[in-house]
Amino acid sequence: MDRAITERIRELFSVGLLGKGAMVEKRILARVHSRFIVSLAYAFQTKDELCLVMTIMNGGDLKYHIYLVDENNPGFEEPRACFYAAQIIQGMEHLHQKRIIYRDLKPENVLLDNEGNVRISDLGLAVELKENQTKIKGYAGTPGFMAPELLKGEKYDTSVDYFTLGVTLFEFMAAKNPFRERGEKVEKEELKERIMTGTVVYPETFSENAKSICSALLEKQVDQRLGFKNGTCDEIRTHPFFSAIHWRRLDAGILSPPFVPDSKVVYAKDLDDVGEFSSVKGVGLDDPDRVFFDEFSSGNISIPWQEEMIETGIYGELNMWGPAGTIPNDLRRESILEQPKSTTCCLA
> Do 125 and 224 fall into the same domain?
yes
CATH code (residue 160)? 1.10.510.10
Residue 154 forms part of a structural domain: yes
Residues 251, 211, single domain; the answer is yes
The whole-number pLDDT of residue 13 equals 45
On whether both 68 and 145 belong to a single domain, the answer is yes
| pTM score | 0.75
For residues 342-346, average pLDDT: 50
Q: What percent of the chain has pLDDT over 90?
A: 55
pLDDT: which is higher, 262 or 341: 262
Amino acid found at 33 = H
Per-residue pLDDT for 279 more than 50?
Answer: no
Q: How far is CA 176 from CA 3, 72, 211, 219, in A?
A: 43, 14, 15, 18
Same domain for 141 and 182: yes
200 lies in the same domain as 154? yes
77 pLDDT tier (thresholds 50, 70, 90): very high
Q: Each residue of 289-324: pLDDT tens digit?
A: 556 555 555 555 566 666 776 777 766 666 666 667
- Tell me how crowded residue 179 is: count the other CB atoms within 10 A of its CB: 22
Residues 164 and 245 in one domain: yes
Reply yes or no on whether the pLDDT at 134 is more than 60. Answer: yes
Here the CATH number for the domain that contains residue 42 is 3.30.200.20
The average confidence (pLDDT) of the chain is: 82
**254 within some domain:** yes
* pLDDT digits 0-9 by tens, 78-98: 999 999 999 999 999 999 999
Do 156 and 289 lie in one domain? The reply is no
Considering the domain architecture, whether residues 286 and 324 belong to the same structural domain is answered as: no
The reply to whether 273 falls in a domain is no
State the pLDDT at residue 41: 77
Q: Are residues 254 and 178 in the same domain?
A: yes
> What is the tens place of the pLDDT at every residue in 163-218?
999 999 999 999 999 999 998 999 999 999 999 999 999 999 999 999 999 999 99
d(CA 251, CA 283): 43
Predicted confidence (pLDDT) at residue 16 exceeds the cutoff of 50: no
CB 29 within 8 A of CB 41: no
Residue 278 has pLDDT above 50, yes or no: no
- Domain hosting 327: range is 313-348
Q: Is residue 245 part of a domain?
A: yes
Q: What is the pLDDT of residue 290?
A: 55
The verdict on residue 272 lying in a domain is no
275 part of a folded domain: no
Helix, strand, coil % over all residues of the chain, rounded to 5 = 45, 10, 50
Name the catalytic one among 48, 61, 70, 104: 104
Q: Is there a single domain that holds both residue 344 and residue 221?
A: no
281 confidence band (pLDDT: 50, 70, 90): very low
Please give the pLDDT value at position 219.
97
* 104 given a catalytic annotation: yes
Reference 166, options 147, 185, 187, 141; nearest CA is 147
Q: How far apart are CA 299 and CA 42, in angstroms?
A: 5
Q: What pLDDT is stored for residue 218 in this prediction?
A: 98
Predicted confidence at residue 339, as pLDDT, reads 53
- On whether residue 274 sits in a domain, the answer given is no
Residues 10, 119, single domain; the answer is no
* pLDDT(276) > 60: no
The most confident of the ranges 125-129, 138-142, 173-177 is: 173-177
| Spatial separation of the C-alpha atoms in residues 212 and 49, rounded to whole Å | 45
The answer to whether residue 109 scores a pLDDT higher than 80 is: yes
Residue 39 inside a domain? The answer is yes
Pairing of strands 110-112, 50-54: unpaired
Average confidence (pLDDT) over 218-223: 96
At 24 the pLDDT is: 76
pLDDT bin (cut points 50, 70, 90) of residue 54 is: confident
Q: Do 249 and 121 share a structural domain?
A: yes
Most confident of 5-9, 52-56, 132-136, 278-282: 132-136
| Count of structural domains within the chain | 3
